[in-house]
Structure 1
């Protein structure tokens, strides 16, 4: 029973942290409610399968897969190309669908060549700290806006939503710190259920749209047509794949350190296997016309909060997610989760990530070198976050997507600075 309750909590966390991307992408491509529901179904299905593949064949760590933020950015950029480079949204989505296949093949090639194993050495404590802090800083604005009911630049703060979010946040912190183990262990699940109730009472819970009316509906394959060759998407896929590898390595390192330090668990180095599976997961994304997945760093905060470090609840939760996608009515219920509730609970989880980031930095023996790399990386990444996305509009799609992402650019800059410092030290 405990494993089932833990699995449900994992399933709710995976769903709550993954819904935003497919819904936002569907919106920019002008999909109707039916197509949006199917796009959400396919994406969540792929994420659930991806988690199971990683659990059994890949890195074998309790790290949930989520829609890659980089691919999210690329989808948005390519939506802007409709009418310029692509005749219809369908053509752009067909090209992006093929891009997932390109990325999957490249993942597998790099894993087979041993490149990814060598890249792991780049993620020193200083780089991991930089990555985590940039991730937290980048998402904190999204969390606060979501908790205040602000979706666009024209929106004003909804005081009722903000008050409800604050109450959910307080309940989450209280549950996380409760001395009763069953309360602290299932704090996320309890907080989401209670938060949903709060928003229903204040009249801010969305209505449940029951969708197609079919009891069972399997996800469809190659929705936008057969794979096509697109040179621009191919170049984009190469660069995005390399950055997704960096994201994956950081997520794995954070979880490995958490399991070793807090739970005293022995962790096997399975980066190469995880990379192979990431390639398979991207191939599945292409086949099912979904968004490419990536291991989510926030999983470490979730595990630290709930204390569920074993694999069985994670596997149960991932299997539940896969099964749920076959039932449109159940998917409709999850899709109706009030967004501010998800943002408030995730905000609480990410406070754990700040502590983890500083613990990482404390492990670096060469403080001066570490601080230099961190300082330049953080200033670069945070600075880019303040540059309007529209300012990158004239750049090629791949450059616009990457350079406008403070998380990736700041991390890459920190890696370059640290490697130059190490090379200089070796020469001296």
Structure 2
């Protein structure tokens, strides 16, 4: 496909700002949603939620510019990794210092993979069936937090009706909206959903931005090490690695970019540094998103330089708390509804990979995919009082549905149902 602006084309000032604004609008919803969800899970008040989102925006802004100029050098949007939400939820709000220490170590793990040149040697582990399961596990194991968001206000009938209606409207908008508008479905849902919620359910007590100072520390020092939590997050970083490589490869191949192996390696290295930075300041680490192709095809602009104004915009917004503070009024049911839509998209990509790669040839192949998902669901919805009975040392692993799902699929794919190579005659 021929684009108006190719990968390394430099744009004049006006088109650079216009295309940059579009990338900014695509980037900001995931930052706000993940920031708000983590704040909700960790019980942060309005001032601390604003401070958390500020730090998150600063990292994403720096990361976007770093990847475009130094890392993969592709027009790929960056955002907080939803898979790390799973580790945060499973580890418990009371273990916050240990969580962000584990994120630093996870980032170090990615960086070591980059500098050691081990990425190419580990690719045999990530078969297509394992990648499919990992993608689906992210959606399945986030179900409990989505459930809590949707029904947080105790109005079961209203919340259920609102969530289903909002998801159907988002799906309809995704079908009907064309061009660049299709890439703004999540942002429009965020704004319109909040307005509709307050119009039908009453306004909050005050819509003034809270100016109270945050008590959230800027740096996560001193580090606190917990072996179980660290191991749990390393499994999450396996999924993050798959996501990172998949996003970069899909965009790179679509644009016919050269030296894709080197681009992928550099992207993992930069992602590692950014995750170490994120953990050090106490926020979720970033990953690249494959949604970029939609905006590229819609606008005809494949230039990586168009993402630089978006990165700068995210970084600048991090220092304007009054703007970010307005987003503290997003109702949990709106966040939960958007998460349903995003996780449905995640599952859609997983199912599409099953179909296009023809990876289920018999019953055992179906078991490799289905059993890990069932085990993950079982653990994810296990009552809290039963989860508390698991020894603290192994709870972050055994009590984490995502981690146990990954362990199960690895055992099934490379152990129990391992494809035997034909004997030489």
* Aligned twin of 1:250: 242
Q: Find the aligned partners of 2:56 and 2:27 in 1 and give their Cα distance.
A: 14
Q: Find the aligned partners of 1:350 and 1:42 in 2 and give their Cα distance.
A: 25
* Aligned twin of 1:46: 59
Secondary structure in 2 aligned to 1:186? helix
**Is the contact made by 1:42 and 1:220 (CA closer than 8 Å) also made in structure 2?**
no
Cα RMSD after superposing both structures: 3.7
Offset at residue 9 of structure 1 (A): 2.2
Structure-2 change in CA distance of 1:108 and 1:205 (3 Å): farther
* Aligned twin of 1:280: 273
* Aligned twin of 2:169: 171
Structure-2 change in CA distance of 1:172 and 1:74 (3 Å): closer
1:10-21 equivalences in 2 (<5 Å)? 10-21=26-37
Moved more, 301-310 or 161-170: 301-310
Deviations 1:276-300 (A, max 9, x none): 2233123212432x1341427xx44
Q: Find the aligned partners of 2:183 and 2:101 in 1 and give their Cα distance.
A: 41
Say whether 1:417 aligns with 2:418.
Answer: no
- TM-score w.r.t. length of structure 1: 0.76
Secondary structure in 2 aligned to 1:16? helix
Offset at residue 326 of structure 1 (A): 0.5
Structure-2 change in CA distance of 1:117 and 1:387 (3 Å): farther
* Aligned twin of 2:400: 405
Offset at residue 126 of structure 1 (A): 0.9
Structure-2 change in CA distance of 1:404 and 1:66 (3 Å): same
Offset at residue 305 of structure 1 (A): 8.7
* Aligned twin of 1:326: 319
* Aligned twin of 1:377: 372
Secondary structure in 1 aligned to 2:222? coil
Deviations 1:273-330 (A, max 9, x none): 2332233123212432x1341427xx44685599669555655444322221101101
Secondary structure in 2 aligned to 1:295? strand
Deviations 1:89-118 (A, max 9, x none): xxx63x555444444434323432233443
Q: Find the aligned partners of 1:405 and 1:313 in 2 and give their Cα distance.
A: 39
Structure-2 change in CA distance of 1:63 and 1:403 (3 Å): farther
**Is the contact made by 1:26 and 1:39 (CA closer than 8 Å) also made in structure 2?**
no
Q: Find the aligned partners of 2:327 and 2:46 in 1 and give their Cα distance.
A: 15
1:293-304 equivalences in 2 (<5 Å)? 293-295=285-287, 299-300=289-290
Offset at residue 163 of structure 1 (A): 4.0
1:97-116 equivalences in 2 (<5 Å)? 97-116=100-119
Q: Find the aligned partners of 2:230 and 2:264 in 1 and give their Cα distance.
A: 19
Structure-2 change in CA distance of 1:315 and 1:392 (3 Å): farther
* Aligned twin of 2:196: 198
How many residue pairs are counted as aligned between the two chains? Answer: 395
Deviations 1:61-85 (A, max 9, x none): 3342336224413652644xxxxxx
Structure-2 change in CA distance of 1:162 and 1:424 (3 Å): closer
1:383-402 equivalences in 2 (<5 Å)? 383-397=378-392, 399-402=394-397
Say whether 1:7 aligns with 2:7.
Answer: no
1:198-217 equivalences in 2 (<5 Å)? 198-204=196-202, 206=204, 207-212=206-211
* Aligned twin of 2:136: 133
* Aligned twin of 2:7: none
Structure-2 change in CA distance of 1:406 and 1:32 (3 Å): closer
1:301-320 equivalences in 2 (<5 Å)? 310=302, 311=304, 315-320=308-313
Deviations 1:224-269 (A, max 9, x none): 6x435x4x43x346524531331123213543565478x5654823
Offset at residue 135 of structure 1 (A): 2.2
Q: Find the aligned partners of 1:357 and 1:187 in 2 and give their Cα distance.
A: 21
Structure-2 change in CA distance of 1:23 and 1:176 (3 Å): same
Deviations 1:309-355 (A, max 9, x none): 95556554443222211011011012222333333334334433333
Q: Find the aligned partners of 1:182 and 1:105 in 2 and give their Cα distance.
A: 36
Offset at residue 41 of structure 1 (A): 2.6
Q: Find the aligned partners of 2:18 and 2:85 in 1 and give their Cα distance.
A: 33
Q: Find the aligned partners of 1:43 and 1:100 in 2 and give their Cα distance.
A: 14
- TM-score w.r.t. length of structure 2: 0.77
Among residues 108, 118, 122, which one is paired with 2:125 in the alignment?
Answer: 122
Structure-2 change in CA distance of 1:315 and 1:124 (3 Å): farther
Moved more, 178-187 or 14-23: 178-187
* Aligned twin of 1:64: 79
**Is the contact made by 1:19 and 1:335 (CA closer than 8 Å) also made in structure 2?**
no
Q: Find the aligned partners of 1:284 and 1:378 in 2 and give their Cα distance.
A: 32
Q: Which runs of 5+ in 2 are unaligned?
A: 1-16
Q: Find the aligned partners of 1:78 and 1:14 in 2 and give their Cα distance.
A: 25
Secondary structure in 1 aligned to 2:81? strand
